[in-house]
Chain A
């Protein structure tokens, strides 16, 4: 089955620690995206990548980093510089410019 996987579903970390969220897709999509969702708010774009070895900052990139070494994978690292990291994180991919984005199941990150 083709799709997007995110692991783990729930993640707990202590303040001051970096943490990496996994996102893998086997849809052969070129573009991949990371969003953050907070209660009562819509999705906000953190980073996106249109092609391997290239990525751009979204609207709220501060405190986050990404890499795109393989087409299938787009991991997101939440660094200790992110002031309020507790949130629900969604990964998405898209085949072409006119196509909709397909979403993974999300990872709920809690930092205490």
Chain B
């Protein structure tokens, strides 16, 4: 079974600064997908960014980018020019592309609470 670990329960950053959230995962699969989701105080889960394991290029979405290190099984999220609206809990998630019982199942990390200070 896959596991996802977020080792930082809480992080804080000043507005306009850059912050990096860590995520590591464990899998024996070679082809899979990784996601970062954001859960603001409203508790609505919002997709931030996704990465396909077969792509070497790191995904980028505006101020959000990832550092995907497949060999190290690491998938960190960098938020540049942090804004007050970035305050949320961030979840790293792993999606298996294998068949069988893992098909279509997302495995989530424990989450990191990010607070952006003015």
Contact = CB atoms under 8 A, between A and B. Distances in A.
Contacts, number: 49
Interface residues of B, number: 24
Given A31-B104, A50-B103, A100-B50, A42 B43 contact: no
A31 B52 CA distance: 20
Interface string A40-64: 1111110010100000101000000
Interface stretch (B62-70, B80-88, B107-115): B107-115
Contacts of A43: 91, 106, 108
B6 to A, nearest CB: 8
Given A98-B33, A106-B44, A48 B50 contact: no
Interface string A86-108: 00101010100110111101100
| Residue picked from B33, B44, B106, most chain A C-beta under 10 Å | B106
